[in-house]
Chain A
Amino acid sequence: MPVLATADLGDPLFSHGFGLAVFVIILVKVLVAFGALLVSVMLMIWFERKVISDMQNRIGPNRAGPFGLLQTLADGTKLFFKEDLLPNRADKFVFRLAPLLSLVPAFLMFAIVPVGGVVDIANHVVELQVADPPIGILFMLLVSSIGVYGVMLAGWASGSKYPLLGSIRASAQMISYEAAMGLSVVIVILESHALSTRAIVASQAQHFWQWNVLRLGIVPFVIFFIASTAELNRPPFDLAEGESELGGGFHTEYSSIRFALFFLAEFMNTITMSAIVVTLFFGGPDGPGFHVLPWLWPILWFLGKTTVFCYIQVWIRASLPRMRYDQLMNLGWKQLIPLSLVWLLIVAAMMYSVAWGFAVAVGSIVAFLLITRAGRVSAYRRKEAEKSLPVGRAVSLQGPTGLVTGESVAPYEETKG
């Protein structure tokens, strides 16, 4: 069994102080991670296109390079030569800033993912991950929240209606699922007693039945996976770019390399989220190792597991239709959030004693009955409000205090040219 973590908290690289050797090691780690991320994004885009074509009985990209592997590179190069349009109603500064706000967090999020075990280089203990800050998994939540700004500001700054609608939808969706995501991460922290990703991985080491996916019950994993898919704006939650109703969504007005940066960030986030699912629930680089090249096996296990989740993301995209917006919000708020909260309490109580665990479980069933009842009350109030409507009036919901009748909306108002 390879060593996955050192006993004490914090990055052991700095335990002997900070010197030139340490700096060089950091620099190499950062450069390797940077290059690996770019190459893996290239491969991921190719992989997604190829797998989806296979699922749809098409051939997919097969011209550029062997098996079309260099197709992404060709597409990227093409985008360099395309005209970069700046819409005349755009907020110029924010319009230029938004792709950066999307791309930089995408790079940073990978920094906390443990890629392999621990190796000795020049008398320094080096963890195979870019950075191991004590806040660990909180950094992931932080960076993914910053990513929301990229999407939101891109749509707002475009000065066009489809991007604006797409970005409002996307930001409401992303913050909604962030709560469920945070709660399922808390469940993982209950077992690992530390925020550091290295510690989370170490707490799942040794046997596969200690992986959080089994140890915590399958529910937190499912919640996290659904929430991360929604956070990524990937199908079936890609309402931000529902092309049937919004053109291209928040990046409708972006062209040339600015569009490529959004595209890059999106696929980079897909890879990183798969890696984080593996880290939190599937033991990260944990797996059987051998005496030949002991440092290599954890990396291979990590890459293998991450590839499986990348494949599942592509599979989901090829299989599931896009959700409707109210279904999306209902799933996030009325199902995932209460379920993750209740599961958190059950796990916490079970860790204290089984009797408490069962008591809390019974309590949660009562809680879900209450939520169902509340939903019925809300539906009843809706129906009552509908009865009092005059014919031919469109009505919008206005707030928690009740229903407010809106102005009748003429669908086509001609602007005089």
Chain B
Amino acid sequence: MGSLNSYLPIFLLAVLAVAFAALSLVASKLLAPKRPTVAKEEPYECGIVPTYEPPRRFPVRFYLVAMIFVIFDVEVIFLFPFAVIYNQLGRFGLVEIIVFALAVFFSFIYLIANGALDWGPVKATKPNIGDGAMRTTRGTVRRYGSKDNKAA
């Protein structure tokens, strides 16, 4: 019974990969300069001061996709053992899997009909904020190192 033995090469390869990455990081630490400035350490925005904080919340749609994914992934997991011994199951296996697939399929239909898998806004109406004329490059963009910029 040497089934665990066959994972030994994978383990060794993982050790090698980690060692490779670690060596690269150490080499980079030794060779690379370290001259951080305020502007370099700010979040990337092409050098201007960010006007948004990085969002801590994101659309609920992504959570929904994750939840629906779990249904399908569980289905796939059940299908693997079925596929391996399908030859020995015969008609019983076939009917069982059709019933199983139908159960998932009907919930899938329900999800589509309710728009759970639709993306994007319903209507891309832009709110009329009325200050379009006042927004110029000079008026709204503040750059690092410019005079009127207190953040940088």
B residues in contact with A33, CB < 8 Å: 13
- A117 CB to closest chain B CB, in angstroms? 18
B84 touches A189 (CB 8 A): yes
**Residue of B13, B20, B69, B90 ringed by the most chain A CB atoms within 10 A:** B13
**Contacts known (A164-B54, A389-B122, A399-B60); A30 close to B83, Cβ less than 8 A:** no
How many pairs of residues, A versus B, come closer than 8 Å at their CB atoms?
A: 308
B120 touches A326 (CB 8 A): yes
Output the nearest chain B residue to A112 by Cβ-Cβ distance. Answer: B10
A100 touches B18 (CB 8 A): yes
B101 touches A341 (CB 8 A): yes
Q: What is the bound-complex CA distance between A106 and B65, given in angstroms?
A: 25
The residue from A130, A164, A326 contacting B55, defined by CB atoms under 8 A apart: A164
- A195 CB to closest chain B CB, in angstroms? 6
Q: Is A83 an interface residue (CB 8 A)?
A: yes
Q: What is the bound-complex CA distance between A410 and B122, given in angstroms?
A: 17
- A109 CB to closest chain B CB, in angstroms? 10
Instruction: Please report which residues of chain A, range 202-241, place their CB below 8 angstroms from some CB of chain B when the two chains form the complex.
Output: none
Q: Is B137 an interface residue (CB 8 A)?
A: no
Interface of A is mostly: helix
The residue from B42, B66, B84, B112 contacting A371, defined by CB atoms under 8 A apart: B112
Query: Which stretch (A176-184, A283-291, A296-304, A313-321) binds chain B?
Result: A176-184
B73 touches A179 (CB 8 A): yes
B residues in contact with A161, CB < 8 Å: 43, 50, 52-55
Q: Is B150 an interface residue (CB 8 A)?
A: yes
**Contacts known (A183-B79, A329-B117); A256 close to B6, Cβ less than 8 A:** no
B112 touches A397 (CB 8 A): no
- A174 CB to closest chain B CB, in angstroms? 10
A411 touches B13 (CB 8 A): no
Output the nearest chain B residue to A130 by Cβ-Cβ distance. Answer: B9
Q: What is the bound-complex CA distance between A71 and B124, given in angstroms?
A: 45
Number of A residues whose C-beta is below 8 Å from B?
123
- A85 CB to closest chain B CB, in angstroms? 6
B123 touches A179 (CB 8 A): no
A residues in contact with B60, CB < 8 Å: 398-399
Interface string of B109-128 (1 = CB under 8 A from A): 11111111111111111111
- B44 CB to closest chain A CB, in angstroms? 5
Interface string of A92-113 (1 = CB under 8 A from B): 0000000110011011100100
Q: Is B98 an interface residue (CB 8 A)?
A: yes
B24 touches A392 (CB 8 A): no
A103 touches B108 (CB 8 A): no
The residue from B13, B59, B68, B91 contacting A130, defined by CB atoms under 8 A apart: B13
Q: What is the bound-complex CA distance between A160 and B42, given in angstroms?
A: 9
Query: Which stretch (A46-54, A273-281, A345-353) binds chain B?
Result: A345-353
Q: What is the bound-complex CA distance between A44 and B113, given in angstroms?
A: 44
Output the nearest chain A residue to B22 by Cβ-Cβ distance. Answer: A100
A352 touches B2 (CB 8 A): no
B119 touches A108 (CB 8 A): no
The residue from A130, A160, A182, A411 contacting B76, defined by CB atoms under 8 A apart: A182
Output the nearest chain A residue to B128 by Cβ-Cβ distance. Answer: A392
B94 touches A356 (CB 8 A): yes
B residues in contact with A292, CB < 8 Å: none
Q: What is the bound-complex CA distance between A175 and B71, given in angstroms?
A: 12
Q: Is B12 an interface residue (CB 8 A)?
A: yes
Q: What is the bound-complex CA distance between A414 and B51, given in angstroms?
A: 6
B17 touches A104 (CB 8 A): yes
Q: What is the bound-complex CA distance between A158 and B79, given in angstroms?
A: 38
A residues in contact with B113, CB < 8 Å: 374, 377-378
- B54 CB to closest chain A CB, in angstroms? 4
Interface string of A350-389 (1 = CB under 8 A from B): 0110001000100000010011001101100110011001
Interface string of B55-79 (1 = CB under 8 A from A): 1001111101110110011001001
A408 touches B18 (CB 8 A): no
A residues in contact with B12, CB < 8 Å: 26-27, 30
The residue from A133, A352, A394, A413 contacting B94, defined by CB atoms under 8 A apart: A352
B residues in contact with A89, CB < 8 Å: 43, 54
Q: Is B136 an interface residue (CB 8 A)?
A: no
- B80 CB to closest chain A CB, in angstroms? 6
Q: What is the bound-complex CA distance between A401 and B110, given in angstroms?
A: 10
Q: What is the bound-complex CA distance between A94 and B65, given in angstroms?
A: 24
Q: What is the bound-complex CA distance between A412 and B140, given in angstroms?
A: 9
A residues in contact with B18, CB < 8 Å: 100, 104
Output the nearest chain B residue to A145 by Cβ-Cβ distance. Answer: B73
The residue from B41, B65, B108, B115 contacting A88, defined by CB atoms under 8 A apart: B41
Output the nearest chain A residue to B72 by Cβ-Cβ distance. Answer: A179
B residues in contact with A26, CB < 8 Å: 8-9, 12
Q: Is A417 an interface residue (CB 8 A)?
A: yes
**Contacts known (A10-B3, A131-B9, A399-B116); A158 close to B73, Cβ less than 8 A:** no
A410 touches B32 (CB 8 A): no
A108 touches B80 (CB 8 A): no
CB<8 Å pairs between A and B, sample of 8: A108-B13, A111-B13, A133-B3, A161-B43, A193-B87, A352-B94, A370-B109, A389-B125
- In the A-B complex, the 4 residue pairs with the closest CB atoms: A160-B43, A326-B119, A182-B76, A400-B116
